[in-house]
Amino acid sequence: MPEEQGSETKEALVSAFAEFGGENLRDIWLFDQSDFEMLYLRDDVADKLDEIDVSKFVDNERFGFVTRDTYDQLYYASYQYTVRGFDDFEQFRMFFADDERNVGVFASLDLQSGGHDYEALFQHVTDIASGYDVPTVATESERQ
């Protein structure tokens, strides 16, 4: 995929999450089997991430590829997304279908009264991303 197309795809993803989450959006990460790329990071969250090994955090999300395949074999419906609740935020994760590269995205949002409509987020991201190729995760050397 040309660099310009990859950039447009990532911008569309950030736009979809930002439109949904507004000021509650904390971070967005694109990942595949071997690499990850930060697409958005709010300043206050960046300060907190200085103290953790982000690569281990992303490695944990990669287990979702196995889980998705397992669900697809066990259930009559296809896996769409996962939401996890933490003390002061929620994390949403989804995978892009129809691509053997196994590419996923996860984002976190501040907790809000009444919660977030994650089905609407899934549909929104899917609709916006459908006009683009599955994003390619930039390797560390490409980001430098």
- What would the pLDDT profile of 64-108 be if each residue is shown by its tens digit? 888 888 888 898 888 889 999 999 999 999 988 656 778 899 999
Task: Report the range of poorest mean pLDDT among 20-24, 83-87, 125-129.
Answer: 125-129
pTM above 0.75, yes or no: yes
Does residue 116 or residue 140 have the better pLDDT?
Answer: 116
CA 76 remoteness from chain centre: 25
Give me the pLDDT at residue 6, please: 66
Q: Is residue 110 scored above 90 in pLDDT?
A: yes
* pLDDT higher than threshold 70 for residue 140: no
What is the Cα–Cα distance from 45 to 85, expressed in whole angstroms? Answer: 16
Give the confidence band of 14 by pLDDT, cuts at 50, 70, 90. very high
| Predicted local confidence at residue 18, as pLDDT | 94
* Chain segment 32-55, per-residue pLDDT in tens: 988 999 999 999 999 988 888 998
Can you give the pLDDT at residue 144? 55
Other beta carbons less than 10 A from residue 94's beta carbon: 22
d(CA 78, CA 44): 36
Indicate the length of the chain as a whole number. Answer: 144
Cα–Cα dist 41/33, whole Å = 21
Q: Identify the band that residue 28 occupies on the pLDDT scale cut at 50, 70 and 90.
A: very high
Distance CA 74, CA 56 (A): 28
> Which band of pLDDT confidence, cut at 50, 70 and 90, is reported for residue 2?
very low
